[in-house]
Structure 1
């Protein structure tokens, strides 16, 4: 028998002393890779976003767009690697965001933006300051969040200011640990020495704010003057000193009036106080009786790129315990409100357990179906292949995360296919007892199935590898599956032909060639499975008419199964919702609302949610955002820093301690939050951590049009349409309610009359309402220097007669300086502020966003419902928008609604996966043509691929699960697995055919003998799918493999022979009469194979 590649490798290694050494090396290297592979919960997708902040004081939004935003967009758009450019322009400023292509290095992205901006500094308009460039990426997402709170008994003794001091000390301690990335404090309210001027007293004594600021700043100076000599030595001369106490500042002499000295304390109140930030952070913990509400400050800690989240999180928490008694008093509690290291470790351990469970189950399957020796071989082969795959994963730069581990569990069912085929064939050859030695028989057995096994292995790889080229964020998110699974398949082939025969011969001993199960499980007739197959297949293959009828029924069943998608019995969604331990409620009050109003709404939200049994604690963030996660990174939640904005962080019990998934709890939250007593125009949204790559909005409509009024009118009507559909919730838009603002305008006549300079007026207004920093107080003793600011108290920041009494310098007579009250030279007026102006890739756009909950939760169904409602609605004078599914409109003259958000990711993912499937099928066809030397036979072999839909759709309908991206991955992988079975069957048929044998006998014999290994490999893959069936994200993959394999395996061994009969006739012998029963006994098969050899 010609050995081929597989047989040659077997002959080389079946008796080689290198084989056990290679086995040991594979195990050791794999274990090392398992230990050193960084562990993370999710794949780290690099999506750099660079924000460019530009101040445009005095410019309205429409003017700032022309002068600042549009020129800046053209510069940013020219940067290599920029995929999208977003901008938001408001009165007095703009933010332009460059979103780079997935996979771009974050450091490289920031550097490119800096270089391009600096190269075009000459284009900065006059009066516009240098832009601030801030880069954000996945590595800036905190893996641990520590919330500092006092105990309820000590809450009255602690403020955010005291907690801020402790958080800063803790921040320094944590930064000493290795591999710590960005750290920041949320809700901090540091101390300051505040000089609060009294406008009336300033006016009484004729002292201006500029004089007050200059006096404090001048007295608070310390600097190195020179090097001087003293006593023959050189000394450094330092001049000045810093002000350290409120008393020192209050005793500064400003001037004298009527012979009486006027001090700072006479015109201002000097106090050590908290910076008047418009933020509030509180921790609310559930008790049996009530909610415990205490002030809080959160410290967010990220890690460096490519490091182990589990180890770093453990180090952080260990360090917290070490400093608990050193930095923190006993009345301060440290709550870990986010620990991605712990969740990553739990998920990794859970999946490794599932991996072990699947391995044990497959070993038991082989032990029952073939024998204990063969099962022992499988028990060695599977870990070896998996450990080699982990080594390859480490070399390829992947981490140990939920997706890569699911790839291994998914692979375990198919990587054992080669070994099972080889083991079963070796056992069958040994059962022949034809005088060959075990080594010779094993070598021949491997050679017999070698070529089809190689082609079958390559078909699975050909099916998987094209998925590596899926674009968008789903590409790198899912890339561990094709990469690791392909590596596992390649390793499994070499392990099967090099290690498996060696193990089989060692475990079988050196006795005579025999096998205890020679006449049961290993007979060439396929045993009871073969007989069962013949009983089922014979009626189908009895005639060409019956074969055609069977094929027609299978085709109809396939079409009907696809009809489940059309009837929405099976829905389509990118990814199902995950089951996380955190949720977020995002609250947007109308612009201009106070932080106190925001805090009251957040308190109402918490009171409603406290009744949910799965909730443990809450953190409310008023005027700022909670520490952002990956979803917050993409949605720019870290820019939420305005009094009317707020978040509620909802912490849930562990998954093992609750019966409901987090998505079900989110639906409950939405129900409970209905009817809140909130200001008109307030938006309340429940945000769930996305199961995969995040998007700007689940259901996102971008509205384009010829002018701003048209766009807003169309967006408002679209919002109404959204709200009319029951399963579309949390509807919001990008422009909101137009706010109002105050303007202090100079009265030019009065200004000239009092001889006041305009710059003095503006400086006084800025100092009065914005404050003026005049330096730091260096207290020494290792304490943090604190700023000294001249500013009104928070409650005094109003425009009234008292504040307008603030004196302004005036030139009363030539050569003299006098004062005049601010109110004498300015007038107060109210005016509407500008709507924010959004642009996407250089086009003006308004956005309407929403979530989906209830009957349908995929954007495509919301889009269809909205499209239908738009057609039926009466638009009146508002132009009805043209609906676009992909790509921005060429022009802006026509109102257009472009679907974006999750739909865009879904479209790109399924489009690329469809292309990957086509490439996979073409690759498989080429491989099969090369194997069989025929252009028609590969078409027969590829026929069973669509049959998988029968089981796939039935399984999704039975479980009520959506057909997701992971389902599509399973379908593409099934193409390779099913073709593998078809190749093994067709190869046997090709070799078994002879002119003197009826075709039906050949087909029944091939099916009976190959049915057992086909069933075993299918069951092995199904076992791998069963253990991941409970995971919400990968349930679609599990259902696809489980039910797709069940249906396609049963149908493949019937459809392939039926096609032979349908196309080539029933193969009746030339002699009339009944066809004899095909001889599929071991003796007949052994004699036939010996003749062929």
Structure 2
């Protein structure tokens, strides 16, 4: 079979050119990304129960839905939930192998069957899909000398333009406010006309209507009739009648001020570049669609921004805070350089060992195997990322083995047989070595086939490793047996031996003789044989013992040097964004001191980081820091510097993190406490947190109990309220309209819908911005009035009792059990496995868990333990397949045992080598054992 390629040289050369060309096309077309895209089917069920405290939401909504979902869905990994005031959020995580579309569809169908279990005043549950990789690929900051309204319009235009870029799924804006018309109702005016805020809300809502009535036929012509009762301006809102007093209509303008402006600010954004004081800006977070090449998308976005600089972005400053495309190119470039260096080193060694001409020919196997292997990656829908490039580098030393055997075999035949032709030598070499080379390649492939059993998030994350290595190993076999024999026969000098080659042969023979003498000496002496075997056994056992004893410190995925870090600022519950902003400015002062390290940073007040799943919350803020390339210290070192400095800020929680290299696994350290009583869980969490803080290498400790807050609770006397014709829904809607505001209608212009929000001015000042209308006291809330059907006015305070209490903002479940989570990061010198081992020891020995309270270690450990177990299974599968192949090849158990006896020698060298490393041994390095 293989002689076909030698006999048909022109076809072979053409085939090589075609494969190389297609391989180059494949490598240019394969999507590029920094890390493999992990798809985990997750569905979120959100149910609103207006006005209900977290405990009632848990019992009336969450528990009912969880019981209905339990056991009724396929491929469910776990069900978690968060019950908060007025909202139940249930997260259903399916197994990573499940089809995301089918899973979400099945979840929606199941939820529809459970609606009858919910209270009558609960809103219909909303099921949404969560994309695990839904993180921004670019963050753009734009600053300009514009009014807030102009900046808001600019943001809308930018979002519209950028969302037209191919591959972009959405663009989110922050730091700007949307347009809004606020109907700010005056309490004194309501008293004067004996009206309530609900009267104004209902009038505005019902007055703005436009809808088709039907058709009439006149003179055989059909005409559509449309009722045009709507309004398209703020002046129209002012003229809406609310009631009639005497012979006069009471209009909205008699009861309220209609303010045309912007919605209350939820976030502030600022940008600082090159150490200059931060300036107000709008921030755009750009997201990609599933799949696709990130580098292509970010380049397209940059092109679009450059086009817009001559139009809507004229006279503005645009700064790219984060560009995943640039990071990917940098990572791929660094890995490519490392790969080229490895290739050069391998070829150099080959030239020294077997001759320069033979070394170059054998070295051709590397680029040929790579280009052919890329074809397989392209058609298997893999991407080019740091994992697949790592696999390529890992396989370089192995894929040349077959080429070396063929080239050296042909060369020796030509030199040792004066009458043989180079073509005949090539054919004889292929015939002799094809079977062992195929078996050897299959044994290597077998070891990586087992990696396909690794499931979950980690399995998806590392799946490109077996794909990549299997493709290039088979490609190397085709190159060695199909292409190299012909190339070698054409390029070798024949029987002429150069001076350098002669010296190499002489040195090689001397080395062989020296090694032979040592072997003879050992094998001919019973004592030396026993000593040698004893040394191997002791070395093997001691090498294996290096892992449990801690000399080989293993981390799941090692932290690399990155160009972006993230700072999270968190104030106590109840803090307003103005207080958060002051705290952020204190943090900024520390950052200005590091101008030599920091290139720029963007600030968002009122929201957690999008990279860490943060949502809008006035007590949260985040800072994204871009580091200079020539900063003189690694990102991990700088993170430790900032953590040390921020420890001086005592009244604010400041967390500094950097992106992880591995798959998403949550916090490195995670402890889950399970129990029925929330107060008991809070007490145990406090003890565990204290023990965790005493362990070296731990930082950024957080716990669910931090979310507890003080709340003002309105306890409605339902019997008394019922006498006046009120129910909980009417009272809660009145409260919401008064305190927060309710959207009554919207006005449509050419670009978008502008909401019209009705709210009560609870501030004592008559001239107040709508944003500050709720700056008031509890007495004002009690004096809010409701109107009965007979027109009687009832103060809210007379229908309810007010209590000030500490409350759980959130009650969390995992698989129908109450759970409280404690999480933390680790420092640059910390080790997850060591910290977890010490924490488990501290809990077991020093904390007396109350009856009914249990705990489990989660975080990175939960995923890494499963990954290591499955890696062990993969190793067993690989060994079984390898043994089967060797037995088939040799038809001998003894010969197979001889071949496998090299494994202890390999493990000794590998494990002692890892133990001598200064840094911890990452999960990736252990994959080298399979080779």
Note whether the superposition's TM-score is higher than 0.5: yes
Partner of 1:580: 562
Answer yes or no: is the 8 Å Cα contact 2:574–2:709 preserved in 1.
yes
Answer yes or no: is the 8 Å Cα contact 1:219–1:242 preserved in 2.
yes
CA distance in 2, matches of 1:425, 1:506: 15
Cα–Cα, structure 1 residues 249 and 64, in superposed 2: closer, same or farther, change >3 Å? closer
Tell me the alpha carbon deviations over residues 845-870 of structure 1, each in whole angstroms, 9 at most, x when there is no partner.
Answer: 2111111215432x211122223333
Q: TM-score, normalised by structure 1?
A: 0.79
Cα–Cα, structure 1 residues 202 and 218, in superposed 2: closer, same or farther, change >3 Å? same
Cα–Cα, structure 1 residues 439 and 189, in superposed 2: closer, same or farther, change >3 Å? same
Tell me the alpha carbon deviations over residues 532-579 of structure 1, each in whole angstroms, 9 at most, x when there is no partner.
Answer: 433554543442321321232233334444444344333111111122
- Aligned counterpart in structure 2 of residue 293 of structure 1, from 269, 273, 279: 279
> In the TM superposition, what is the alpha-carbon distance from 1:809 to its structure 2 partner?
1.7
> In the TM superposition, what is the alpha-carbon distance from 1:837 to its structure 2 partner?
2.0
Task: State whether structure 2 residue 259 is matched by structure 1 residue 280.
Answer: no
CA distance in 2, matches of 1:826, 1:844: 31
Partner of 1:1085: none
Deviates more, 1:454-463 or 1:617-626: 617-626
Task: State whether structure 2 residue 101 is matched by structure 1 residue 143.
Answer: no
Tell me the alpha carbon deviations over residues 84-123 of structure 1, each in whole angstroms, 9 at most, x when there is no partner.
Answer: 1111122332111011212434333322211221244333
Task: State whether structure 2 residue 646 is matched by structure 1 residue 673.
Answer: yes
CA distance in 1, matches of 2:325, 2:884: 45
Answer yes or no: is the 8 Å Cα contact 2:355–2:504 preserved in 1.
no
Cα–Cα, structure 1 residues 226 and 27, in superposed 2: closer, same or farther, change >3 Å? same
Find the residue that maps to 1:46 and give its secondary structure. coil
> In the TM superposition, what is the alpha-carbon distance from 1:756 to its structure 2 partner?
7.3
Please report the RMSD computed on the Cα atoms of aligned residues, expressed in angstroms: 2.9
CA distance in 2, matches of 1:253, 1:506: 97
Tell me the alpha carbon deviations over residues 625-674 of structure 1, each in whole angstroms, 9 at most, x when there is no partner.
Answer: 3333xxx3xxxx15x233223322222223xx233222222222211110
Tell me the alpha carbon deviations over residues 33-75 of structure 1, each in whole angstroms, 9 at most, x when there is no partner.
Answer: 1122111111111112211111223444344333322332244
Answer yes or no: is the 8 Å Cα contact 1:428–1:522 preserved in 2.
no
CA distance in 2, matches of 1:753, 1:11: 98
Partner of 2:849: 880
Cα–Cα, structure 1 residues 380 and 870, in superposed 2: closer, same or farther, change >3 Å? closer
Tell me the alpha carbon deviations over residues 1005-1044 of structure 1, each in whole angstroms, 9 at most, x when there is no partner.
Answer: xxxxxxxxxxxxxxxxxxxxxxxxxxxxxxxxxxxxxxxx
Q: TM-score, normalised by structure 2?
A: 0.92
What are the equivalent positions in structure 2 for 1:559-578 lying under 5 Å apart? 559-578=541-560
Answer yes or no: is the 8 Å Cα contact 1:403–1:481 preserved in 2.
yes
Answer yes or no: is the 8 Å Cα contact 1:140–1:182 preserved in 2.
no
Partner of 1:243: 231
Task: State whether structure 2 residue 86 is matched by structure 1 residue 112.
Answer: no
Cα–Cα, structure 1 residues 253 and 915, in superposed 2: closer, same or farther, change >3 Å? closer
Partner of 2:662: 692
Partner of 2:30: 37
Find the residue that maps to 1:473 and give its secondary structure. helix
What are the equivalent positions in structure 2 for 1:214-233 lying under 5 Å apart? 214-227=202-215
CA distance in 1, matches of 2:226, 2:849: 74
CA distance in 2, matches of 1:752, 1:303: 52
Answer yes or no: is the 8 Å Cα contact 1:757–1:810 preserved in 2.
no
Partner of 2:599: 616
Partner of 2:907: 949
Query: How many residues align structurally?
Result: 919
- Aligned counterpart in structure 1 of residue 634 of structure 2, from 645, 657, 661: 661
Answer yes or no: is the 8 Å Cα contact 1:739–1:832 preserved in 2.
yes
Cα–Cα, structure 1 residues 433 and 746, in superposed 2: closer, same or farther, change >3 Å? closer
Task: State whether structure 2 residue 777 is matched by structure 1 residue 819.
Answer: no
Task: State whether structure 2 residue 818 is matched by structure 1 residue 844.
Answer: yes
Answer yes or no: is the 8 Å Cα contact 1:139–1:303 preserved in 2.
no
> In the TM superposition, what is the alpha-carbon distance from 1:195 to its structure 2 partner?
0.9
Task: State whether structure 2 residue 372 is matched by structure 1 residue 388.
Answer: yes
> In the TM superposition, what is the alpha-carbon distance from 1:907 to its structure 2 partner?
0.8
Answer yes or no: is the 8 Å Cα contact 1:48–1:100 preserved in 2.
yes
> In the TM superposition, what is the alpha-carbon distance from 1:325 to its structure 2 partner?
2.4
Task: State whether structure 2 residue 344 is matched by structure 1 residue 370.
Answer: no
Answer yes or no: is the 8 Å Cα contact 1:572–1:964 preserved in 2.
yes
Tell me the alpha carbon deviations over residues 411-436 of structure 1, each in whole angstroms, 9 at most, x when there is no partner.
Answer: 22211110011111211222213422
CA distance in 2, matches of 1:517, 1:170: 70
Partner of 2:681: 711
Cα–Cα, structure 1 residues 115 and 271, in superposed 2: closer, same or farther, change >3 Å? same
Partner of 2:764: none
Deviates more, 1:355-364 or 1:26-35: 355-364
Tell me the alpha carbon deviations over residues 1027-1069 of structure 1, each in whole angstroms, 9 at most, x when there is no partner.
Answer: xxxxxxxxxxxxxxxxxxxxxxxxxxxxxxxxxxxxxxxxxxx
State the structure with more CA Rg: 1
> In the TM superposition, what is the alpha-carbon distance from 1:312 to its structure 2 partner?
1.3
Deviates more, 1:183-192 or 1:718-727: 183-192
CA distance in 2, matches of 1:37, 1:758: 58
Task: State whether structure 2 residue 514 is matched by structure 1 residue 540.
Answer: no
- Aligned counterpart in structure 2 of residue 340 of structure 1, from 324, 331, 342: 324
Partner of 2:155: 167
CA distance in 2, matches of 1:572, 1:265: 70
Partner of 1:808: 786
Cα–Cα, structure 1 residues 162 and 85, in superposed 2: closer, same or farther, change >3 Å? farther
Find the residue that maps to 2:40 and give its secondary structure. coil
Answer yes or no: is the 8 Å Cα contact 1:81–1:101 preserved in 2.
yes
Answer yes or no: is the 8 Å Cα contact 1:598–1:646 preserved in 2.
yes
Find the residue that maps to 2:291 and give its secondary structure. coil
Deviates more, 1:584-593 or 1:35-44: 584-593
Answer yes or no: is the 8 Å Cα contact 1:226–1:237 preserved in 2.
yes
CA distance in 2, matches of 1:107, 1:755: 46
Partner of 1:902: 860
CA distance in 1, matches of 2:407, 2:27: 28
CA distance in 2, matches of 1:14, 1:603: 77
- Aligned counterpart in structure 1 of residue 802 of structure 2, from 805, 814, 828: 828
Task: State whether structure 2 residue 930 is matched by structure 1 residue 961.
Answer: no
Task: State whether structure 2 residue 109 is matched by structure 1 residue 126.
Answer: no
Deviates more, 1:185-194 or 1:721-730: 185-194
Find the residue that maps to 1:418 and give its secondary structure. helix
Cα–Cα, structure 1 residues 302 and 12, in superposed 2: closer, same or farther, change >3 Å? same
CA distance in 2, matches of 1:625, 1:834: 20
